[in-house]
Structure 1
Amino acid sequence: MKNLLPAVTLLALTTPALAEEAEGEPILVTAQRREQAAQDVGITLSVIDEAVLAQRGITNVNGLADATPSLEIEPAFGGGAPQFRLRGVGFQDYATNNAPSVGVYVNEIAQPIPAMTQGLLFDIARVEVLRGPQGTLYGRNTTGGAVNFVTNRPTGALGSGATLELGRFGALLGEAHLNAPLTDGVAVRVAGAVQQGGAYQYNRDTGRALGDADRLGARALLAIRPAGGFDALLDLHWGRDRSEAVGLYLLDDLPTRAGAGPLIPADRDRFATGWGISPRLAADTGLPLGAVPGVDNETRGASARLSYDLGGITLTSLTSFDRLHRQQFGDWDASASVEADTFFGSEAEVWSQELRLSGSTGALAWTAGAYWSQQQLDERFFSDFIDVYGTYARVTYAQEVESLALFGQAELALSPQWKLVAGLRYEEETRDLQGFGTAFGGAQALAPTDVGTRMRPLTGKLALEWTPVDDLLLYASISRGVKSGGFTTYNTGNRSGIEPFAPETLYAYEIGIKSEPTPWAQVNAAAFWYDYRDQQVLSAVYGVNGPVGRFTNADRSRIAGAEVELALTPLPGLLLAPFAGFKHGRYLEFEDLDVPASRAAGQAVFVDRDGETIPFPRWSAGAQIAWEMPLGGLTLTPASTLTWRSRYPSWLGQTYDIPAYFVVNAELALAPDDGSWRVALWGRNILGREYDLTRNFFTSADIAQPARPASYGVRISAEY
């Protein structure tokens, strides 16, 4: 490891958007619910701008994992809810009903159901990734951090723009927007996007391609800023996703029908896959007999941000409603045999209301708020095991979640160099699982059952910031975050399988530095130490058919690590923006089911995991490199982004470890000095690295999801 560190540090160190600030134009962020320069915020924060989103081909939230240190976003079995892990703090769940450890916000509105975050990203101004517990300034409480999406806002200037991208495998991505002033102080911005094609996998039996995207998205924003201190932003948004799934391939031979059927050899080509659907699952879900794994999802919602300047104090109201309709068919055995075919049918609604007061008087700046949210979820989860276990499982339930919170944070300037920050949060959250029932083969295994859980935590933050000289900020903080408990809603015939797991509590200790040692260099770094209590861990219980996933709590664990981010502009137009992150964790008190040993023994085998390493990648690194070269009224910009991630060990055993990978993207762009158009030739994964995004098993199938192979194309943009 000693020989690796210098190479990683050289290769890797920060956030692309910091380049503008390194050139003298401060990046403004709203991470603390008010507009500030990113370098003046005493928290660990990465900013990703719209140019980098386009260059990396990030069209949904999962792609952010390669653009910021210490962040992993793992897809669940080829689709469905994203599984976030930030600084090793994460929650692996393919169901819909539990809260994530990392909060996702769009224009300050929380998206508390992970499956809601899978829409198409478009017309995004920037993404802010905050690390560590959040709660004293945000409506929701999280242990891992927050990801804030900020869309482009309406302005008083008439304008429009469009982007068309064409790529390998028939991929198409199109975006357009129109911005128009309606009258003095009133403007509207309408944006839309479409994504099609891109299938890079095939059915090993028939050769049919799999993986075509079919996504649409639209947003309309109305900004009202009359004289008198009133400011309003109204947001209407809609999305539809009828994409095919990313297929899974077989890591090992699959003996179908528990050995009584033909053997399907392990896939030598990771882009091979397979699928099938039984008449029973098709009839039960309304899917056709020739159904292909994929989704038929629709999201819609509205929000209103109203702000009033009351003279030294600002009152802000955030009101929102979001709805998700989800249908997802997955073939988790990656074969035509019906060993593990699944279907999710979800109807979810989220209402929220937040009120905030903020102000500043001399040396004191403060924010205080109240938050209310209600979630309603109706879920169907069907699992077809007919060819391996001779049964078919149906899980149905409803869930209601209500959250109430009071929160606040104050910053007191003790002197021109020293600042004290203190925050506090109290909340009450109830989660009620209603009518959870399971049937196997038509026989009721668990009658509809109600169960609930409640938490009333007090959390907070204390920080000290020191600015000894201009362009140097040192900070230290202590914070306590809590993630709500919940329920394991997988197949179970026993009430104990749905007993709630407890909330997890994280005590976070952090020190950091933000600096600009020269006009052309910016260096940000942070180190952290996390004391985990009741960490929520995906484990398993041993049932009639072997191990079945179930969440449990590890009594005590610990995570420590560091990140460093640089933005260097040593020559005019040249940007070098590397980043790196390191983290390591251990369980201190944890007794767990040993899944591989239990499968081998045919019975439950437990293991004491005290002292064992928490399974997540230790290292992450990346960089953006770009050089703007003037060409007589035009600018030619060669650019590249790099990503490296170390081995991802699995709690399931070495078979499911994901090896380290290194990916390089490249772009060559040409644009006039007035920025009215831009043409770019791009390549992603240009070295053709073959690697996996996730590995797992379901019933008798060991499966993995491959990452996209080398692709290339052209992107044309115009602004008027």
Structure 2
Amino acid sequence: MMKRTAKWSVAGLRTGAALAGLMLGHMPAAAQTAGSAAEDEAPGEIVVTAQRRSESLQNVPIAAVALTGANLVQRGVQDMRDLALVSPSLKIDTPFGNTAPKITLRGVGSGSFNLNTETTVALYVDELVMNPVSSKLGQLFDVDRVEVLRGPQGTLYGKNSTGGAVNYITRKPDGTTGADASLTVARYGEYSIQAGAQTGLTDALSVRVAVNRRYRDGYQYNNFTGRRVKDHDDWGGRVTLRYDGDRIDASLKLFADRSRTDAFFINTLGVNADGSSTADGTNPITGFTPSRDIDSVSFDHAPRSDVDNRGVALNLEASLGDLTLTSVSGYLRSIGHISQDQDGSPVDAVATEFNSKADEVSQEIRLASDPGQALSWIVGGSAFHQDLRLNDAFLLPLFGLPPVVLDTREKTTSLAAFADATWKLDERISLIGGIRITTDKKSFHHATGFSLIGPFDIARSRRWTEPSYRVGINYQATPSTLLYLSYNRGYRSGAFDVGFPTTTEQFEAANPEFVDAFEGGIKTALFDRRVRIAADIFYEIFKDQQLLIQRSDPGSICCSLVNAGK
């Protein structure tokens, strides 16, 4: 449904200069291309860091899409969900509002609705991993570019990237003084504002401030409460302080975002005992007859999805002669809340509430050689810790049962060491190879005073140590044509099931998931690089894929997380 009716943008308000005009397209001054980064690149060439070093997208042997900030605004991309419209094979669903988005690449994702779910598509903002499921959607504004990498990225991006990785590279101050802003207006009182400003403080020190606000009134109607629903009220902010010296480039960033939206709505249709639908959709248990109007609903529990994120990150790059030392440090707190009317009616029958609070601390250090050498390499290590607390409530008043309230605490510690290298045999042929060793430890405490299998208070701990790796060969047929073949081994961490408990088997962790990906591709440019073509073919084999399915255990009435074999 197209709702956008008008759009204005003001860009490039420079100190000492008058407003040049009112434009229909946003034109950020810092969209990074190789034309601005290196004189020997073709105009419009996009520089990416898909392999943890700056290089032309056209020379990266990975199936990837890169969009500059200007591209995103011109195509109407306002949040992460819109990326699926401009990036083939990327799909983002929000069945639980912004609290728990489902992200898939090449069809690889997770069907689990548990809030401790390990993702299959890793999300990074300025190389800081955004691991909690409630932290994914709030930071796509004031970006220099977005990179979408398809297929397993386990060597350089670590575990939980069996489907791929998405990188946001935000705009950083460059010592100049200026400001830019954009405004979008649509129906139902909707508006979106993005604005940023920067200035130099000293010769080497500068600062940038960016804000984002999105608002919309509800466009559906709740007959039971007499109020409109399907609204949203989101905002985000970021302050970046940058020191750009002769040998050190360091950026300290404070960020926060908040979302207040409706979760998904259930519109139930009644079924008879034999499984056939009732004539008018009336539910034979509650007696409720739903409206045939899709814009009209009736429920007593307000479905809400609320998210609060805040954090700090420090990116440091130091030149050590022919070597480059990179450090990425970060802290993130992510808080989520979902309340849902599961029966989709004004009858107080079944409702759920899910609350989460995650604290994440991470550190990565890399040392890279001169990329211009015949043998170039990157070595490094990373440490990650997450403390996740969940409080879930299943309300069952229709059945005369007390609430099932689950309290869960899960601590995850992940340590990894990695190395990756490219060996240029000659001007056209190069070999690539890399390996990463990851150790994950998870401690799990799960308790309730009442459930369908009785009260329980359990504690579990598991540790997994697994390798992920890649090998490949590149053939630079012409300066503008690259052919590549590669094999990647991806790894997704094991996980505990925190869903509605109906069997004690759910207390045991699912084992890690693995994928072997074989891929070949070509990237070329025609007509003086005015037309670019990229194509790839891939074949992926999964082992122990983690799936949420109906269990066959006696007494089990719901679904749980299991390994599916090959």
TM over 0.5: yes
Are the equivalent residues in 2 in contact too, given 1:249–1:272 (CA < 8 A)?
A: no
Question: Is the 8 Å Cα contact of residues 438 and 491 (structure 1) preserved in structure 2?
Answer: no
1:94 CA displacement:
1.7
Please give the per-residue CA displacement for 1:140-196, whole angstroms capped at 9, x wherever unaligned: 452110010111111111001122221101112112111111111111110111111
Aligned with 2:422 (options 388, 392, 411): 411
Counterpart among 519, 522, 532 of residue 542 in structure 2: 532
**TM-aligned CA deviation for residue 346 of structure 1:** 1.2
- Matched AA of 1:310: L
Match of 1:452 in 2: 461
Distance in structure 2 (CA, Å) of the matches to 1:497 and 1:353? 32
Q: 2:510·2:563 contact (CA, 8 Å) conserved in 1?
A: yes
Counterpart-to-counterpart distance in 2, 1:274 and 1:58: 32
**Residue matched to 1:358:** 368
Residue 554 of structure 1 corresponds to: 564
**Contact 1:296 1:326 (C-alpha < 8 Å) held by counterparts:** yes
1:470 partnered with 2:512: no
Matched, 1:295 2:333: no
More strand by share: 1
Could you say what secondary structure the match of 1:65 adopts? helix
Partner of 1:259: 284
Contact 1:120 1:216 in 2 (8 A): no
Q: Which residue matches 1:378?
A: 389
* Separation (CA, whole Å) in 1 of partners of 2:288 and 2:306: 32
The change in CA–CA distance for 1:71 and 1:296 in structure 2 (over 3 A counts) is closer
Q: Which moved more, 1:165-174 or 1:348-357?
A: 165-174
Q: Which structure 2 residues correspond to residues 65-104 of structure 1 after superposition, within 5 A?
A: 65-104=84-123
For the residue of structure 2 that corresponds to 1:64, the secondary structure is helix
Question: 1:341 deviation in Å?
Answer: 1.5
1:241 aligned onto 2:265? no
In the alignment, which residue of structure 2 is the partner of 1:439? 450
Instruction: Identify the residue that residue 521 of structure 1 maps to in structure 2.
Output: 531
Distance in 2, matches of 1:187 and 1:358, equals 26
RMSD: 2.5
**1:418 aligned partner, one-letter code:** I
Once the 2 structures are TM-superposed, how far is the Cα of residue 459 of structure 1 from its aligned partner? 1.4
The match for 1:392 among 390, 399, 403 is: 403
Instruction: Report deviation, 1:221.
Output: 0.6
- The alpha-carbon deviation at position 52 of structure 1 amounts to 4.1
Q: Give the direction of change, closer, same or farther, for the CA distance of 1:545–1:271 in structure 2 (3 Å limit).
A: farther
One-letter code of the match for 2:243? I
Structure 1 counterpart of 2:511, from 475, 480, 502: 502
CA distance in 2, matches of 1:296, 1:56: 27
1:438 shift after superposition: 5.9
Q: Distance in 1 between the 2:440 and 2:147 partners?
A: 26
CA contact (8 A) 2:120 2:492 kept: yes
Q: How far off its partner does 1:340 sit?
A: 3.2
Per-residue deviation, 1:502: 1.0
2:565 alignment partner, SS class: strand
Equivalent residue of 1:115, what SS? helix
Report the TM-score when normalising by structure 1. Answer: 0.69
Q: Which moved more, 1:71-80 or 1:300-309?
A: 71-80
The residue type equivalent to 1:423 in the other structure is: G
Query: What residue number does 1:323 align with?
Result: 333
1:424 corresponding residue in structure 2:
435
- Contact preservation (8 Å) 1:428, 1:457: yes
**Distance in 1 of aligned mates of 2:77 and 2:221:** 23
Q: Determine whether 1:487 maps to 2:487.
A: no
**1:198 offset after TM fit, Å?**
4.0
> Structure 1's 203 and 141: CA in aligned 2 closer, same or farther, altered over 3 A?
closer
Extract unaligned runs of 5+ from structure 1: 1-16, 278-291, 557-720
**1:3-22 superposed matches below 5 A:** none
Count of paired positions: 522
**Following the alignment from structure 2 to structure 1, what is the Cα–Cα distance between the partners of residues 329 and 389?**
23
- Give the one of 163, 167, 171 matched to 2:186: 167
Q: What CA deviation, in whole Å up to 9, does each residue of 1:106-126 have, x standing for no partner?
A: 010001122111325311222
Is 2:342 the counterpart of 1:332?
yes
Counterpart contact for 1:303–1:318, Cα < 8 Å: yes
Provide the secondary structure at the position in 1 that maps to 2:521.
strand
> Residues 57, 313 of structure 1: CA spacing in aligned structure 2 closer, same or farther, 3 A cutoff?
same
Which structure ranks higher in relative contact order (CA pairs < 8 Å, sequence separation ≥ 6)? Answer: 1
Q: Secondary structure at the match of 2:344?
A: coil
Q: Offset at 1:343?
A: 0.9
State the TM-score, normalizing by the size of structure 2: 0.87
Quote the residue 2:22 is aligned against.
none
Contact kept? 1:325, 1:348, Cα under 8 Å: yes
Query: SS where residue 456 of structure 1 aligns?
Result: strand
Between the aligned residues of both structures, percent identity stands at 32
What is the CA distance between 1:241 and its match in structure 2?
Answer: 1.9
Matched, 1:275 2:299: yes
Match of 1:41 in 2: 60
- Is the 1:81–1:93 Cα contact (8 Å) retained in structure 2? no
Whole-Å Cα distance in 2 between the matches of residues 120 and 184 of structure 1?
A: 29
Query: Which residue pairs with 2:157 in the alignment?
Result: 138
In the TM superposition, what whole-angstrom CA distance separates every residue of 1:386-444 from its partner, at most 9, and x where no partner exists? Answer: 2257452211110000000001110110000001110001010011211343623xx98
Q: Which amino acid aligns with 1:369?
A: G
Partners of 1:502 and 1:52 in 2: CA distance: 40
Amino acid at match of 1:188: V
Unaligned runs of 5+ in 2: 1-30, 36-40, 272-276
| Contact 1:73–1:84, Cα closer than 8 Å, also in 2 | yes
User: Aligned in 2, Cα 1:259/1:113: closer, same or farther, shift over 3 Å?
Assistant: same
Per the TM alignment, residue 383 of structure 1 is displaced from its structure 2 partner at its CA by 1.4
Deviation at 1:338, TM superposition (A): 3.0
